[in-house]
Amino acid sequence: MGLKYNWNYPQYDETFLNDLKEYNISENIAKILDSRGINKIEEVKKYFSDDYEEGYDPFLMHDMKRAVERINNAIENEEKILVYGDYDADGITSTVLLVETLVSLGADVSSYIPNRFEEGYGPNKDAFSKIIKSGISLIITVDNGIAGVDEVELANSLGCDVIITDHHKIQDKIPKAYAVIHPEHPEGQYPFGKLAGVGVAFKLAHALLEIYPDFLLDLVAIGTVADMVSLTDENRIFVKQGIELLNEDPRIGIKMLLELSNITTNIDEQTIGFYIAPKLNSIGRMDSAKVGLSFLMAEDASVAKSLAEQIEEYNVQRKEVTENIVKDVIETIENSDIKNKSVIMVSGDYHEGVLGIVASNIAEKYQRPVLIMNNKEGILKGSARSVFEFNIYTAINKIGDKFIAYGGHTLAAGFSFDEQNFKEIEKTLCNEFDEYKNNNELKSTKNIDIVSSLEEVSYQFLNSLEVLKPFGMDFEKPNILLENTKVIEKVYFGADKQYLRLTIADEVGNLECISFKDNMIFKDINVNDTIDLLCTLDKNYFNGRTKLQAHIIDMQVKEFLFEDLRYTNFDETTISIDSLKLSKDIDNKQSNYYCYKDLDNINAEYSNIYLLDIPHSLEDINKVLELKPKKIYIICNDKQIMSEVYKIDKLRLVKLFNIVLNAPNKQVNITQQLDYLLSLLKTNTNSLKIMIQIFQELNLVKVENNMMILNPNYKTVDLRKSTMYVKMENIFEVERLLLKDSIININKKFEK
């Protein structure tokens, strides 16, 4: 149970793990695959054999054959074709992919991306009317169109055919387009329904070109990662192969954009997700997304560089605008009763392009659903973001008649409504979330892939995870639980101290850990706390140096029964009189000082017990546990450590016995041969006396006139039948534990 999430610990199939050893798959990789449901040999083979896969037959998609025939006829008849795209990264890459495909086939093709601010998402009648009047006779939508019922009807009435390629949720009514290509079409039989818009466009390109167009997979990789669709099955194939292409032969624009970000390492899904995709998205957020088409299709280096610099500037503007709006929204919340409401709704003269980002930031900060809106002439248009598993789309849908338009899914939605409906919408959504809170635990669950320790974290361990790439939605980076690590540094950083950096350590090393969100929940984590840390691992590149770094998912403070006060110069006079103090020889029951030998006579309950010195044995500690304290404090300031004074062990006893056994007449003069015995056994006189006593207890020897004489009738015996041997063994064992072991291992030993 973490501070942020419930933790689901892995249950491994040991037979499966053993079977994978035959395929030279490491135990850690096997565990990750098992924890994610890839637990059959056939599934593992399929997972690792996708480098040369070409995905499913594109003609399994509904209307694919019909669409291909119509497009080929249009090309043959020299009709004007238009690709109608969208302004996000998925829409931009979809548009470029299909335009490049049609150009290669000799088509007369152009493209159109609606303006986010003037036209909004998807088909619109004004745009379609102008497009058709310009002579276009075939419109192909990419990453949109499935909701354009009226717009397609208009196009049909104007004599223009429309082919829809889309991946968004299919509504109750499907447009009467010439062809509708959708991986989840109810009349289709396509095996994988979670393609991005660019993935659907790629399937059309595959069908048109009659070859597997792997040269377009760089676009598919960018659009698929950017749209955060499931990175499993066919998407994994496309992204993996697309990333290889991005590294081998990147488009000149992408190369320039990464140079501006000082990215010199190999491109991977993280490079796309954190650098390429946000910058492509920033174009449509700040201006017309047409710049993105020119950028991706640029072939001249100087043009590509100029466009990359323009996109970089858009991204800077996007960050500044977002930051200013977030600050304004927080100020509005804190200075009003909005902060006391179950759902946060704030409107203002805000830039429409960043409302979703702002809503995400506010939802993260306040941990409740958020609606951020721009007010334009009494119409509130904006974005909603939810928390936990509260379905904001379903909540909005219940009062859909109060909205002009809306759409979305569980955790995000877009909408518009008349400001006169504000109060009623706010009241309903607050009631819906209140009901959700009353009936649901406000914690999501995180699956743990591997339970490990800081000692096992290394570059070798991290590099071994590379074979599982690419990571993304539904196949995230492995969640690693690092148990029993100590916090040695805690620092908040950033302009508003909103980010968190921890340094954790154990006996062998330390690790820097970073968190960029939800950090107030960790406010009670302190230096010197022992924690379990749930994280992902990564490499941090900075100033030409590389180091391991953990990205914090969650953590929990370990509440240990045993607390460490050893070697701290602890002042025993500060111990409360109500606490139980245990030692070998201090007996003052009135002040709650007891000897270990009296443990059986203690009937009172104590919350806190202090071990002033070392108990006689582990049995004494077990008796202390039977008292059921909340805390046991280990002080153990013993002046004399028995294991350092007495050099006695089984090997020394065997050696001494052999000396007697091989001596003349099987007798040893202890006085005359004392120095020889001490030197050979590497012990001291007191220890030798005890060893002889052990032999006497076992009836192995007798001592007469300083002569140690072997019993001629001796038998092989168990050393533990000697009371003295057991006593010394118990003392040494408890000393090793309480004086030399870590407090973590001490707690582990006595865990129930």
**What pLDDT is recorded for position 195?**
96
Give CA–CA dist 539/460, Å, rounded: 12
For residues 355-380, average pLDDT = 93
Taking the C-alpha atoms of residue 27 and residue 673, their distance in angstroms, rounded to an integer, is 56
Task: Tell me: do 625 and 651 sit in the same domain.
Answer: no
Write down the pLDDT at residue 295.
95
pLDDT digits (tens, 9 = 90+) for 194-208: 999 999 999 999 999
State yes or no: pLDDT of 715 exceeds 90: no
Q: What is the per-residue pLDDT across 458-477, written as a single tens digit (0 to 9) for each?
A: 889 999 999 999 999 999 99
Residues 593 and 632 in one domain: yes
For residue 468, the model assigns a pLDDT of 93
From 557, 590, 612, the end of a domain falls on: 557
Number of neighbouring beta carbons within 10 Å of residue 460:
8
Q: What is the model's pLDDT at position 256?
A: 94
Mean pLDDT over 149-158 rounds to 95
At residue 370, the 3 state secondary structure works out as strand
Sign (positive/negative) of CA torsion 631, 635, 641, 643? positive
Pick 179 or 409 by higher pLDDT. Answer: 179
CA 412 to chain centre: 21
Q: Please indicate, yes or no, if residue 472 is contained in any of the structural domains.
A: yes
Residue 365 Cα to chain centre, angstroms: 19
The model's confidence at residue 52, banded by pLDDT at 50, 70 and 90, is: low
- Helices 355-366 and 301-334 cross at an angle (nearest 10°) of 40
Pair (340, 417) in one structural domain: yes
Distance, CA of 593 to chain centre: 49
Please check whether residues 88 and 193 belong to one and the same domain.
yes
Q: Average pLDDT in the 665-688 region?
A: 94
Statement to judge: residues 648 and 506 lie in one domain: no
pLDDT band at 743 (very low <50, low <70, confident <90, very high): confident
Give the mean pLDDT of the chain.
92
In a shared domain, residues 462 and 604: no
pLDDT at 654: 94
Q: Which of 533, 557, 581 is the last residue of a domain?
A: 557
Residue 266, pLDDT > 70, answer: yes
The pLDDT of 252-277, averaged and rounded, is 92
Residue pLDDT, tens place only, 693-707: 999 999 999 999 999
Evaluated on CA atoms 722, 728, 733, 738, the torsion sign reads positive
| Residues contacting 245, CB < 8 A, separation 6+ | 214, 215, 217, 218, 221
Mean pLDDT of 590-602: 94
- Is residue 359 in a domain? yes
Q: Which of 26-30, 219-223, 382-386, 519-523 has the lowest mean pLDDT?
A: 519-523
Q: What is the dihedral of CA 598, 600, 603, 609, to 10 degrees?
A: 60
Residues of the chain above pLDDT 90, percent? 74
> Could you write out the three-class secondary structure of 128-195?
HHHHHHCCEEEEEEECCCCCCHHHHHHHHHCCCEEEEECCCCCCCCCCCCCEEECCCCCCCCCCCCCC
Query: Does the structure show a pLDDT above 90 at 673?
Result: yes
Helix (H, G, I), strand (E, B) or coil at 739: helix
- Supply the pLDDT for residue 490: 93
Per the structure, the complete domain to which residue 597 belongs is given by: 562-639+738-750
Domain boundary among 391, 409, 441: 441
Residue 752 is classified by DSSP as -
Indicate whether 706 belongs to any domain. Answer: yes
The pLDDT of 644-650, averaged and rounded, is 92
Residue 592 located in a structural domain: yes
Residue 118: the pLDDT is 81
Residues 505 and 578 in one domain: no
Statement to judge: residues 486 and 614 lie in one domain = no
- In this structure, the answer to whether residues 504 and 617 fall within a common structural domain is no
What is the band of 685 on the pLDDT scale with cuts at 50, 70, 90?
Answer: very high
Q: How far is C-alpha 595 from the geometric centre of its chain's CA atoms?
A: 50
Helix (H, G, I), strand (E, B) or coil at 98: helix
Structure confidence at residue 46 (pLDDT): 82
Q: Specify if 33 maps to a domain.
A: no
CB contact burial 46-80 (16+ within 10 A = b; e otherwise): ebeebeeeebbebeebbbbeebbebbeebbeeebb
Residue 243 lies inside a defined structural domain of this protein: no
Cβ 389 vs Cβ 410: under 8 Å: yes
378 and 461 assigned to the same domain: no
Q: Which pLDDT belongs to residue 413?
A: 87
**Predicted local distance difference test score (pLDDT) of residue 612:** 94
Residue that has been written with the tokens 């030399």 in this structure:
740
Share of the chain above pLDDT 70, in %: 99
* 101 in the same domain as 86: yes
Between 712 and 637, where is the model more confident? 712
Q: What was the pLDDT predicted at 737?
A: 92
Q: Which of 270-279, 322-331, 486-495 has the lowest mean pLDDT?
A: 486-495
Q: Are residues 213 and 174 in the same domain?
A: yes
pLDDT at 50: 66
Q: Tell me the CATH number at 417.
A: 3.10.310.30
292 in any annotated domain:
no
pLDDT band for position 567 (cuts 50, 70, 90): confident
Residue 409 contacts residue 382 (beta carbons within 8 Å): no
Q: Model confidence over 504-537: pLDDT tens digits? A: 998 778 899 999 887 888 888 998 888 999 999 9
Q: What's the rounded mean pLDDT across residues 13-24? A: 89
The pLDDT of residue 51: 57
- Residue 49's pLDDT band (cuts 50, 70, 90): confident
Report pLDDT for 262: 86
Query: With left for phi above 0 and alpha for psi between -120 and 50, is residue 628 left, alpha or beta?
Result: left
| DSSP character at residue 548 | E
pLDDT band at 45 (very low <50, low <70, confident <90, very high): confident
Kindly report the pTM of this predicted structure. Answer: 0.78
β-strand pairing of 510-515 with 499-505: antiparallel
Number of structural domains the chain divides into: 5
Q: What angle do CA 741, 743, 749 make, to 5 degrees?
A: 75
In angstroms, how far apart are the furthest CA atoms of the chain? 125
Provide the residue type at 89 as one letter.
A
Q: Is the pLDDT of residue 89 over 60?
A: yes
571 domain-assigned: yes
Q: How far apart are CA 675 and CA 258, in angstroms?
A: 77
Q: How far is CA 732 from CA 58, 617, 618, 626, 649, in A?
A: 73, 8, 10, 23, 10
The more confidently predicted of residues 46 and 466 is 466
The two tokens of residue 134 are: 């310009």
More confident residue, 196 or 454: 196
